[in-house]
Structure 1
Amino acid sequence: MTRIVLSTGNIVSGGPSIIRKPGTYRSNLELTNSLRSNFLAAKEDYTVALQNGNGNGTNGHGLNGNSRTSTSVWTSVEDSVLYVPRINWASAGLQEDRTQYEITVKLFFLPTTPIEKRAEYINEALRLVTKELGVDTVDLLIISFPGISFEGDCEWEADKRNATMGDDEEEIRTWSVLEDLHLRGKIGRLGIAEFGSEKLQRFINKVRVRPAVDQINIKNCCNVPPPLAKLAKDEGIELFTHGDCTDILPKGTLRELLGHGLQGAGILADDESEGQGLEGDLVPEWVVKYTTFVQDRGVIENKGYFAGAELVERA
């Protein structure tokens, strides 16, 4: 079994792959395009650096080669985790004093995520984000559970359907991990995503720390359901809208990103690799998105993603 962590770096200062296109720009496209851009940049940067050092960094394969030798140049293994690409932690950190920032984190549990490992993933995602930003705390962490959405012909129907989605008890158990981090001062405020009025009411009746934010995607039903708007107002919960996909990194998309295809990273063995690369079943587990907002200037300075997966040997 191999643990894999993918990263985009700061996409605010990225290249053309993240330029906004007309229409709704969903975060799954932002994630995949930004990962591809960061993979390519790392291949070029680390290969050139190695060539400058010894004159032969790619073992004859060049920048577009997918050999295991070239892969080892721009990826790294730390504490048994394969980082794609390798991360220069020395350059991490914010440009201004921490008090100038509002740091928001959104953690997506994917449909393939083992529920019993959610606490591990929360801590891992938070560790990576805080290390990348050079901070000890984040101001808001929003959790997104799989299988929950707002879908229906109108906001009333969507709210009604939402009440039966997900698993309340599993979500409350996961929330308790976030509550502990909040009470320890690691997270300022907690938030949830895609909770309608009935689901949110059941939830706040059973947790120690109520969510400060409920983030919902209403693309399919146009308006915020009135019962949800009333409940949020009565309970002092902020309602945010978003354009994220719940299943932000499907298994097939991740394998394409890491395979040997035209835009693949050349990490995994596939039909085009001629036996080169890692073999096994790839299981995407979580994605975390982070944003740093400079409050006095009203600008986003950092935005990026990490994603975690397991490569399991085939039986």
Structure 2
Amino acid sequence: MKLILSTSNIMGAVSSFRPITNSKSNAEFVNSLRASLEANYSIATSENVNGNGHAARLTYPSWTQMTEAGLEIPALDFSESALQEERDQYDITLKLFYLPGASIEDRGKQTREAVNLVLKELHMPSIDLLIVSFPGVYFDEEEKCPDKISTRGPIEAEPEPIESQIKTWATLETLKDEGIVKRLGIAEFGHDRLANFLDRTRIPPSVDQVNLRDCCSVPRDLLKLAKGRNIELLVHNDCSNILPRGTLRELLGSGPSGAHVLSGSAKTGEKRKSLHGEPVTNGHADKPLDGEVQPLWVVKYTAVVRNRGVVENKGYFAMAEFTNDS
């Protein structure tokens, strides 16, 4: 079963939650997702008051929704457009993170799932730029920045063969052929990786997004290559594994800060509690799900008003695979 997670529009939202990981670059996503779970649980609770005037304790089916695509956490509502102006008033950018452990063979399906969710959310027919991030690809490693590598933390995944990346890229080229995406981009490609990639693609990337946290400046050979091939170099502060399995388990688990969708928590032996910390029993048909979760992908989207440079809508979707233990 698929689990579909959403933050909705995070612009203007204030989260009181602290990061649950040590990585600053995914704190926005994790905190925003936690805030979304909290808000939807609270709304559902306020709408379910018992005869004594007290809010009834709710389980996850009260604020999630099962569809053919999977379990929406929280339930999604695409009835109203998230943007106020016409399409030509916006620059819409997506960054799609393929996560470690997910099937490379399913990337085509995953890419369309992510793009379609954003288009439905924004009520728009196309996006301007789609950037993809492959697991295990680090700009600092290729550009030999040992001092910066030492501050990055543990390696989440080994780089996959370029053949797999080229196969994935073919799906993106199809999206551009169909007019759904106007420009394509990659992340963390240094000179050698980018040069090899360019030689083997039908539609080359027009953007290479690099993390200067890992290098003080863009190397000259990469600058020369990008300029010669009309590739725009952008900077970012994202981590490639934006949603580790343990973080997802903690968000959805039954620990003190979990949403009580999954049984157990990221830490063993922890008493199961709901999102608001109340002890929970399992004497009902909709008890927490027993099983394992594998994060598949995360997509970050932004819609900027062109003539003002204002971000009107920004949010995240994520998808994970749930496998029942029984």
TM-score (norm. length: structure 2) = 0.85
From the two aligned structures, give the one with the greater helix fraction. 1
The separation in 2 between residues aligned to 1:198 and 1:151, in whole angstroms, is 12
The separation in 1 between residues aligned to 2:23 and 2:243, in whole angstroms, is 15
Aligned residues of 2:83 and 2:123 also touching (Cα < 8 A): yes
Q: How high is the sequence identity, in percent, across the aligned residues? A: 44
Deviations 1:254-275 (A, max 9, x none): 0000011122111001153355
Structure 2 gaps, min length 5: 150-157, 265-269, 273-280
C-alpha change, 1:177 and 1:56, in structure 2 (3 Å) is farther
Counterpart of 1:228? Answer: 222
C-alpha change, 1:80 and 1:140, in structure 2 (3 Å) is closer
Alpha-carbon distance, 1:113 to partner: 1.2
Alpha-carbon distance, 1:45 to partner: 1.5
Alpha-carbon distance, 1:222 to partner: 1.3
Counterpart of 2:117? Answer: 128
Deviations 1:250-297 (A, max 9, x none): 000000000111221110011533554001111001000000000111
Counterpart of 2:9? Answer: 10
Counterpart of 1:168? Answer: 162
Q: Secondary structure at the match of 1:135?
A: coil
The separation in 2 between residues aligned to 1:58 and 1:261, in whole angstroms, is 24
Alpha-carbon distance, 1:91 to partner: 2.9
Whether 1:37 and 2:35 are equivalent positions in the alignment is: yes
The separation in 1 between residues aligned to 2:52 and 2:99, in whole angstroms, is 40
Aligned residues of 1:103 and 1:290 also touching (Cα < 8 A): yes
Superposition pairs of residues 18-37 of structure 1, within 5 angstroms: 26-37=24-35
Counterpart of 2:56? Answer: 60
Alpha-carbon distance, 1:206 to partner: 0.8
Q: CA-atom RMSD, angstroms? A: 2.5
Q: 2:262 aligned to 259, 268, 272, which one?
A: 268
Q: Which amino acid aligns with 2:254?
A: H
Structure 1 gaps, min length 5: 62-68
Q: 1:280 aligned to 291, 303, 306, which one?
A: 291
Counterpart of 1:88? Answer: 77
Q: Which amino acid aligns with 2:305?
A: V
Q: Which amino acid aligns with 1:215?
A: Q
Superposition pairs of residues 132-171 of structure 1, within 5 angstroms: 132-151=121-140, 155-157=143-145, 165-171=159-165
Aligned residues of 1:59 and 1:70 also touching (Cα < 8 A): no
Whether 1:101 and 2:63 are equivalent positions in the alignment is: no
Give the paired residue count: 297
Alpha-carbon distance, 1:80 to partner: 4.8
